[in-house]
Amino acid sequence: MARGDADFIAFAEASSARLQRAAYLLTGDQHQAEEAAQATLVRVYAAWGRVRRKDPYAYARTVLTNLVTDQWRRPMREYATETMPDRQATEDVADVVSKRRWLIGALQALSPRERAVIVLRHFFDASEAEVSRELDLSAGTVKSLNSRALAKLRITVGSVPPLRTETEAGAGL
């Protein structure tokens, strides 16, 4: 076993599921997500000597984003739609799973750039500067893509009445 392999194995086991989840959000396809996450870990292992003492997770995030967004980043192409899935009726909002399903569906309806910004900003909690660097976009573009995508997802930043849990919903119904 090469030097640092034990550390890499621990890192890979801890991050694999999260990377797959991120890849699924970016691609909308389970099979592609598995492949992208695995290819990411291959690249991370290839560079492990350099990244292990820095921030391997940030490195993996960047590699994954580059792999997935490679198809649209040069040149930029947009296939955005302004038509988003219908939101559930009021009574369905209480269903946490349904709401999650709607949000994931709506996420897939975003343009690739909007989706990448949303995933990096709100799944990985990357800063605007990091997103700007990783997607090769200006800070202003990142900001506007984020705002536009959140608007499409019908999300306002701020407090709203708490969502009822499934238990509460059941009790309430």
Partner 1 sequence: MTQLDDLKDAMHSPPDFRPAPLDLQHVMAAGGSIRRRRRLAVGGASALAVVALLVGGSQLVNLGVPLRQVPVAGPSALPSTGNSSAPGVVGTIVETGQKADGRRWILYTETSDPNRLERSLTLILGTTVKGTFDDFRPEIVSTDPPGADRLSPGFHAVRAGRLLGDRTTPTFGYYVGDAAKITARDTGTGATVAAKRAPWTAFDEESNTQIFWFDFPPGSPPATLTDITAYDAKGAKLHAAD
- Please report, as ranges, the residues that interact with partner 1 according to CB under 8 A: 2, 5, 8-9, 12-13, 16-17, 20-21, 24-25, 30, 33-34, 38, 41-51, 59, 62-63, 66-67, 69-70, 73-74, 96-97, 99-101, 103-104, 107, 118-119, 122-123, 132-133, 136-138, 150, 153-160, 162-163
Which residue, 84 or 123, is less far from partner 1 as judged by CB?
A: 123
The residues near 10 (Cβ < 8 Å, ≥ 6 apart) are none
Which residue, 47 or 81, is less far from partner 1 as judged by CB?
A: 47
Contacts of range 52-58, beta carbons closer than 8 Å, 24 or more positions apart? 52/4, 52/7, 52/8, 52/11, 56/11, 57/11, 57/15, 58/130
Coil, strand or helix: which one is 157? coil
CB of 31 to partner 1, least distance (A): 9
Which residue, 38 or 144, is less far from partner 1 as judged by CB?
A: 38
Of 33, 115, 24, residue with least CA distance to 72: 115
